[in-house]
């Protein structure tokens, strides 16, 4: 069966968004967020000299603008090809709305000098858009009708577990964004301890925020490992098994990278990859959740 063009466009959007999230993390880690003091222009022009922090900040803007234009094309293709599920086109319009609000928050972030709440919401909306496009890419694929879902006995349980894991990872990522934008990343400068204690004194809000981020991360790891175990050993479908194993491995790597980020004093590479892995993990869990609604679960492929 030929792949619809809108499916290809939604799939590209997923990877484009992951790349944009990585680039945004690099912008913050290199302290380039205010390298362009104005918005949407950069020093009054759309073609500034791409050096230093301006390179990262303006590149981020250009990639984000390109994503909006590309997703408009994806919506046009979906309208033209008429997806099997009528709600796909409606959901795509919702996605465009998220992108536009996301762009506006990006501008507010610069113009109001990086307010913590706005910057954190900026990342939260990016993760929501990523989750939505993951669903759109899956249900618009021809493979959706070939029974890629889990076998019936575990379908409902896996759905609840994967949804819970995805919600935890999303919440953990938003808290992580708050940690990053409030400069709480060094509130606990040691690892695995925090201020020399397994349970630090909660004498400062940033310590509470940082330590809460660690605890939530460990909790999310436990849930994801359980979901991955069930999906891999009992899922039946090859796609479900692969997603389960990948999610478990990604969650483990994410926790290790989080500890490395602290140990290496928030170096650009581990901090940026930490965001990318969180986004990739959310994508895997949303995909796994979505597959529990796929028809003919457990049918051999």
Reported as a single tens digit per residue, the pLDDT across 114-144 is 899 999 999 999 999 999 999 999 999 988 8
* Helix, coil or strand: residue 194: strand
* The pLDDT of residue 1: 54
Q: Rounded CA gap, 94 and 130, in Å?
A: 12
> What angle in degrees, to the nearest 10, is found between the helix axes of 116-139 and 5-29?
160
The C-alpha angle 178, 114, 111, rounded to 5 degrees, equals 150
Mind listing the pLDDT tens digit for each residue in 23-33? Answer: 999 999 999 99
> Within 140-296, where are the H helices?
152-181, 205-234, 238-263, 268-291
- What region does 4 belong to: left with phi over 0, alpha with psi -120 to 50, or beta? beta
Q: Burial letters for 211-244: b for 16+ Cβ neighbours within 10 Å, e otherwise? A: bbbbebbeebbebbbebbebbbebbbbebbbbbb
- Residue 263: its H or E element: helix 238-263
pLDDT in tens, 59-114: 999 999 999 999 999 999 999 998 888 899 999 999 999 999 999 999 999 999 88
Dist. CA 82–CA 89, nearest whole Å: 8
Q: Is the pLDDT of residue 301 over 60?
A: no
Task: Please compute the mean of the pLDDT values over residues 142-147 and round it to a whole number.
Answer: 81
- Structure-token pair, residue 24: 């945004």
């Amino acid at each position: 069966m030929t792949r619809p063009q809108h499916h290809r466009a939604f799939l590209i959007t997923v990877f484009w968004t992951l790349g944009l999230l990585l680039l945004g993390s690099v912008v913050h880690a290199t302290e380039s967020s205010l390298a362009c003091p104005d918005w949407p222009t950069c020093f009054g022009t759309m073609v500034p000299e791409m050096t230093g922090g301006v390179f990262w900040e303006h590149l981020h803007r250009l990639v984000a603008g390109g994503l909006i234009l590309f997703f408009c094309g994806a919506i046009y293709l979906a309208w033209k090809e008429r997806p099997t599920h009528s709600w796909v086109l409606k959901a795509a319009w919702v996605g465009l709305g998220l992108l536009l609000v996301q762009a506006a928050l990006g501008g507010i972030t610069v113009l109001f000098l990086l307010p913590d709440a706005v910057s954190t919401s900026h990342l939260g909306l990016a993760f929501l858009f990523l989750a939505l496009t993951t669903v759109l890419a899956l249900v618009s694929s021809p493979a959706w009708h070939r029974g890629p879902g889990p076998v019936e006995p575990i379908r409902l349980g896996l759905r609840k577990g994967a949804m819970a894991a995805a919600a935890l990872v999303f919440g953990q990522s938003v808290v992580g964004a708050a940690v990053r934008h409030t400069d709480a990343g060094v509130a606990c400068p040691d690892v695995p301890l925090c201020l020399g204690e397994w349970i630090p004194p909660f004498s400062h809000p940033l310590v509470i925020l940082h330590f809460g981020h660690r605890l939530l991360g460990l909790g999310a790891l436990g849930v994801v490992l359980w979901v991955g175990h069930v999906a891999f050993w009992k899922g039946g479908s090859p796609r479900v098994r692969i997603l389960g194993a990948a999610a478990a491995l990604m969650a483990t790597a994410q926790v290790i990278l989080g500890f490395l980020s602290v140990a290496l004093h928030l170096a650009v590479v581990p901090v940026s990859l930490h965001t990318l892995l969180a986004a990739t993990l959310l994508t895997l869990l949303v995909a796994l959740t979505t597959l529990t609604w796929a028809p003919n679960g457990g049918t051999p492929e």
